[in-house]
A and B are shown apart, each in its own frame.
Chain A
Amino acid sequence: MIIQGAPLGMQWRQHHASGHHAQLTQALLIVVTTIVAAVSLLWTVLTGFAEPRAALAFGVLIALGELARIALPGQREVAPIASAGAIGYTFLLTAGGETVHHQAWQVVAVVAMGMVLGELPHITVGRPPRWGDLARRLFIIEILANAFRPLAASLDPRDTHWWPGLGIMALLVVAVWLIDSVIAGAIRAERLRTPLRVAFRDEIRAQIAIGMAIGASGVLIALAGSVMGIAALLVFTAPLLVTQIAFRRFAEIRLTYLQTVRSLSRVTEVGGYVETGHSRRVSRLAHAIGCELAMRESEVLELEYAALMHDIGQLSLRDPIPSGATVLAPPREQRRIAELGAAVIRETGVLDNVAELVRRQCDPYDETTDSPPPLGSRIIKVANAFDDLVGESTDRDRIEAVVQRLRMDSGSEYDPRVVNALARVLERERTDGERTGQFRIVP
């Protein structure tokens, strides 16, 4: 029994996720958040807890919410119930008719303790949180608490009406959400080496729905807790729980989809049509170039699918072309493979954009034509040619020579922007590799 090929994608994912780039923003965020939390906790312990029952109830809710955290597509970790509970505790004005007096540092202390307690079981079973995301969740509460709690006394609902309070809460939630998106965008931009504005837009798009649900539930919990007392906060977590389940299922199926396409892209390798690992190396390289060229997250995903399946048309060939290197095949043959592959993908009825990228993957780049191939196709063309010519080799001279060859052909065959981006990606991997004692990230 022979089992060939290690799970390539996994290795690379971990490698990539561990991030040996300098992630300054994230490190800074974690340090600041931890210091503020530690000081708040110390201060609260020294001065004592105001209304300990409410603090305990919210702390438990936050811990449970943190325990039930989920991962959204794009490696985004969220804990909607914990965040909503924290917002609710920040905005709590009265509990069952009695005014509450807790100050900002107590809010931070309770939220931080709840989060730590909720994370402990995860850490013991070896599923540590994404520290940057965890720090962000706490950081926005630190901002929110310091902005709102000083005003709380003047917003007592028994003196004034609810509306001014609600207006301030809504404004603060929106402001904090924007700050959060900026920070998340900065971390993402550093991780993926993509421009900040693109990463910011991606974060806004990815988090707007769940963010609205969290914000609305947080305000609702504060209102309900004020009118009905602490018992009510469990009830009003229910709508958010439904939301969380829906998002979780979506994230799971999105991941499964990617795994399916990744796995099935290997049938061309098992069939001997292309070299082992070719599809994945091309897709990894295309992903990096796509980020470098400021493509949106959704476009990068389509690019990744197209790159994984770019050789699927070869399945229709009677005999594999030698070593599967399409770059060496005659142009007519290349075009036929692309057309056949696109036909297969279009058959799904849901991946028309991906099919278009695959169909035009071998069109030469010519600035003067009316309809140049889409950027994704141009990226696949370059990444595919590079991998066909270099293969698994990590020889620096060979890589250098291949990039030179692609440069010579750029303008008539390859898009010069894409070739330059490829050179930058390779250069960065080389310097990163030197730092970690490895030349090229072997996928």
Chain B
Amino acid sequence: MQTLPAVARLYVCLVCLGATVTMLLGPYTGIDPRRLVLLAVLFVIAESISTMVDSGKTGISPSSSASLAAVVLVGPVGAAIVGFSSCLVLRRQGAVKRLFNGAQFALAGYAGGHAFQLLGGGRGVPDPDSFPWIVLPFTVATLVHTVVNALLVAGLMWCLGVVRFQRPRKVRWRPLATLELSSIGYGMLGLFIAAIWNAVGAFAVLLVLLPLFIARWAFDQYVAEQRAHDATLATLCQAVETKDYYTRGHCVRVSKASVMIAEELGLHAERVHTIRYAGMLHDVGKLGVPTKVLQKPGKLTEEEFAAIQLHPMRGFEIVREIGFLDEALEGIMHHHERMDGRGYPMGLAGKEIPEFARIISVADAFDCMTSTRSYRNARSVEEAFAELRRGSGPQFDPEMVDALIRAVGRDGWTTPDVVEPPDDDVAEVAQQDHDDPSAPLRVAGEKE
């Protein structure tokens, strides 16, 4: 409690006070205590199996179905008690958080209950004849419950300074909408649980919760597998880079810069996800280029330059069987195309070049310039910007360059530490870098 700001403390106290008053005032007449306890137990179980999304900040839980069933079966005051039982959730949680969660669920249940009764929903197990009209007051009750719940939590977040009023474009609506829709969906189940309560009692709720519990388990498996996949992908890409000591971490940083550009451009979340992989994998084909070519200090012969030009195709060859990549494949294949059509491997120009390739191209050059190479020190971010602006038009897509400069200007960029290659035969250093726009590869027979 001490760590909370004063406003948040006041807010939590107010919410708790409100919940206590509603629960103390009652009335408790006509509420079956056994039913109340059973519902509270179910609520706690449901709340305990909630699925964490957004790395643990918010959770989707089937508890709203228990809460809404309470609205129908035991009325507003009963629903408040059931909601308050959320304090007892079986999870590691601080006392203040428990108390606040309990109080806000109690208020949401109370409000939902009153909405239901106001529209003539009654109390107790609904009569089969009351279908389908009972759905109307129930839907309103569900909406009221969801809205009160969301407002109370948003209020706390605002007091804590986590949420500020942002430009609407910056708010991520999709996850929020998914969260609220699923909560309403679970809420609607509450009515049907209430309807079959007489036949089999709490057993019905267990039957509903079992698939949800298994879904949560499968979802956890999915998240774990996704993490494992990402970790493996990153590690394997880095293993490819161990060939050249100075390019270590290059793929991870290009991936990061590509994501920054993509987010700045407002790309769809799924495409941002894909470009993260594309950035990671963009140079995987470099392994097909013989080491002696990569490390050659002087001018390259035509054949050697051709070998370097082949690396995007090689990369494409390696990863094309990875099903989900689709758009990323184009990005990998064309990340060395130039806007004026003088790039490789295809010589595409302007908007013919896939969007992903134009993004990766800028991110690639930016990271190359801001990290140390054996033949030069790292440049500052400003110098790199200047170089990107110079190439903006003939080499880079100005839109992407601007997006990167805006994003880096706002969020900052950590340049890699200066690396000193160890003196063993494993670490090798290249004498030039095909990604470096400030020091292009020198090919014999070309005018300087």
Q: Residues of B contacting A257 with CB < 8 Å?
A: 225, 228-229, 232
4 nearest A-B residue pairs (beta carbon):
A246-B218, A243-B215, A271-B287, A350-B228
State the CA gap A312–B237 with chains docked (Å): 11
The answer, yes or no, to whether A256 is at the interface (CB within 8 Å) is yes
| A373 vs chain B, min Cβ distance (A) | 23
- A97 in complex: contacting residue of B128, B242, B287, CB < 8 Å: B128
Q: A162-B199, A213-B210, A250-B218 are in contact. Are A348 and B235 (CB under 8 A)?
A: yes
Q: Residues of A contacting B221 with CB < 8 Å?
A: 250
Give the contacts of A228-252 with B (CB-CB under 8 A): 228-229, 231-232, 235-236, 238-240, 242-243, 245-247, 249-250, 252
| B160 vs chain A, min Cβ distance (A) | 31
* Interface-lining segment among B115-123, B166-174, B185-193, B383-391: B185-193
Q: Residues of B contacting A242 with CB < 8 Å?
A: 182, 211-212, 215
Contact A227 B128 (CB under 8 A): yes
Give the contacts of B205-226 with A (CB-CB under 8 A): 207-212, 214-219, 221-222, 225-226
Give the contacts of A311-355 with B (CB-CB under 8 A): 312, 315-316, 318-319, 344-345, 347-351
Contact B313 A316 (CB under 8 A): no
Q: Residues of B contacting A45 with CB < 8 Å?
A: none
Contact A266 B199 (CB under 8 A): no
The answer, yes or no, to whether B299 is at the interface (CB within 8 Å) is no
The answer, yes or no, to whether A255 is at the interface (CB within 8 Å) is yes
Contact A10 B321 (CB under 8 A): yes
- A226 in complex: contacting residue of B199, B236, B290, CB < 8 Å: B199
| A46 vs chain B, min Cβ distance (A) | 35
- B323 in complex: contacting residue of A209, A213, A256, CB < 8 Å: A256
The answer, yes or no, to whether A195 is at the interface (CB within 8 Å) is no
Give the contacts of B278-307 with A (CB-CB under 8 A): 284-285, 287-288, 290-291
- B235 in complex: contacting residue of A213, A252, A344, CB < 8 Å: A344
State the CA gap A350–B223 with chains docked (Å): 13
The answer, yes or no, to whether A175 is at the interface (CB within 8 Å) is no
Q: Residues of A contacting B225 with CB < 8 Å?
A: 250, 253-254, 257
The answer, yes or no, to whether B204 is at the interface (CB within 8 Å) is yes
* Interface-lining segment among A214-222, A358-366, A435-443: A214-222
Q: Residues of B contacting A260 with CB < 8 Å?
A: 229, 232-233, 236, 322
Contact B318 A316 (CB under 8 A): no
Q: Residues of B contacting A267 with CB < 8 Å?
A: 236, 240, 284, 287, 318
| B276 vs chain A, min Cβ distance (A) | 13
State the CA gap A260–B277 with chains docked (Å): 11
| B251 vs chain A, min Cβ distance (A) | 12
The answer, yes or no, to whether A270 is at the interface (CB within 8 Å) is yes
| B131 vs chain A, min Cβ distance (A) | 7
Contact B428 A318 (CB under 8 A): yes
Q: A220-B204, A249-B219 are in contact. Are A7 and B321 (CB under 8 A)?
A: yes
Q: List 29 A-B contacts (CB under 8 A).
A: A1-B313, A7-B321, A227-B128, A228-B128, A229-B128, A239-B189, A239-B208, A239-B211, A243-B211, A246-B218, A256-B323, A256-B324, A257-B229, A257-B232, A259-B321, A259-B322, A261-B232, A263-B318, A263-B319, A266-B318, A267-B284, A267-B287, A312-B239, A315-B242, A315-B243, A316-B239, A345-B235, A347-B239, A350-B232
Most buried by A among B200, B203, B426: B200
The answer, yes or no, to whether B272 is at the interface (CB within 8 Å) is no
The answer, yes or no, to whether A391 is at the interface (CB within 8 Å) is no
State the CA gap A245–B232 with chains docked (Å): 24
| A261 vs chain B, min Cβ distance (A) | 7
Q: A87-104 interface mask toward B, CB cutoff 8 Å, 1 = contact, 0 = none?
A: 000000000110000000
- A166 in complex: contacting residue of B200, B232, B290, CB < 8 Å: B200
Closest to B196 in A: A227
Q: A246-B218, A247-B218, A350-B231 are in contact. Are A239 and B288 (CB under 8 A)?
A: no
Q: Residues of B contacting A157 with CB < 8 Å?
A: 199
Contact A228 B239 (CB under 8 A): no
Contact A209 B287 (CB under 8 A): no
| B321 vs chain A, min Cβ distance (A) | 5
Q: Residues of A contacting B318 with CB < 8 Å?
A: 263-264, 266-267, 270
Most buried by A among B62, B195, B215: B215
Contact A315 B214 (CB under 8 A): no
Q: How large is the interface on B (under 10, 10 to 19, 20 to 34, 35 or more residues)?
A: 35 or more
Contact B192 A223 (CB under 8 A): no
- A217 in complex: contacting residue of B188, B211, B290, CB < 8 Å: B211
Q: A9-B321, A253-B229, A259-B323 are in contact. Are A228 and B218 (CB under 8 A)?
A: no
| B65 vs chain A, min Cβ distance (A) | 9
| A249 vs chain B, min Cβ distance (A) | 5
Contact B218 A351 (CB under 8 A): no
Q: Residues of B contacting A239 with CB < 8 Å?
A: 62, 189, 208-209, 211-212, 215
| B270 vs chain A, min Cβ distance (A) | 13
The answer, yes or no, to whether B425 is at the interface (CB within 8 Å) is yes
Q: Residues of B contacting A2 with CB < 8 Å?
A: 310, 313
The answer, yes or no, to whether A262 is at the interface (CB within 8 Å) is yes
Q: Residues of B contacting A312 with CB < 8 Å?
A: 236, 239
Q: Residues of B contacting A261 with CB < 8 Å?
A: 232, 236
| B248 vs chain A, min Cβ distance (A) | 12
DSSP majority for the A interface?
helix
State the CA gap A219–B196 with chains docked (Å): 13
State the CA gap A153–B217 with chains docked (Å): 38
The answer, yes or no, to whether B317 is at the interface (CB within 8 Å) is yes
Contact B219 A246 (CB under 8 A): yes
Contact A350 B227 (CB under 8 A): yes
Contact B232 A351 (CB under 8 A): yes
| A105 vs chain B, min Cβ distance (A) | 28
- A96 in complex: contacting residue of B128, B222, B242, B285, CB < 8 Å: B128
Closest to A318 in B: B425
| A233 vs chain B, min Cβ distance (A) | 10
The answer, yes or no, to whether B256 is at the interface (CB within 8 Å) is no
Q: Residues of A contacting B238 with CB < 8 Å?
A: 347
Contact A216 B229 (CB under 8 A): no
State the CA gap A224–B197 with chains docked (Å): 10
- B231 in complex: contacting residue of A217, A228, A229, A349, CB < 8 Å: A349
State the CA gap A405–B208 with chains docked (Å): 61
| A4 vs chain B, min Cβ distance (A) | 7
| B384 vs chain A, min Cβ distance (A) | 29
The answer, yes or no, to whether B137 is at the interface (CB within 8 Å) is no
State the CA gap A263–B233 with chains docked (Å): 11
Contact A210 B199 (CB under 8 A): no
State the CA gap A231–B132 with chains docked (Å): 10
The answer, yes or no, to whether B350 is at the interface (CB within 8 Å) is no
Q: Residues of A contacting B358 with CB < 8 Å?
A: none
State the CA gap A10–B232 with chains docked (Å): 22
Q: Residues of A contacting B323 with CB < 8 Å?
A: 255-256, 259
Q: Residues of B contacting A212 with CB < 8 Å?
A: 210, 214
The answer, yes or no, to whether A126 is at the interface (CB within 8 Å) is no
State the CA gap A166–B196 with chains docked (Å): 14
| B271 vs chain A, min Cβ distance (A) | 16
The answer, yes or no, to whether A5 is at the interface (CB within 8 Å) is yes
State the CA gap A345–B239 with chains docked (Å): 9
The answer, yes or no, to whether B393 is at the interface (CB within 8 Å) is no
State the CA gap A1–B345 with chains docked (Å): 8
Q: A246-B222, A260-B229 are in contact. Are A236 and B208 (CB under 8 A)?
A: yes
The answer, yes or no, to whether B338 is at the interface (CB within 8 Å) is no
Contact B222 A223 (CB under 8 A): no
Q: Residues of A contacting B188 with CB < 8 Å?
A: 235
State the CA gap A1–B314 with chains docked (Å): 10
Q: A217-B211, A249-B222, A253-B226 are in contact. Are A264 and B189 (CB under 8 A)?
A: no
Closest to B205 in A: A220
Give the contacts of B327-370 with A (CB-CB under 8 A): 345
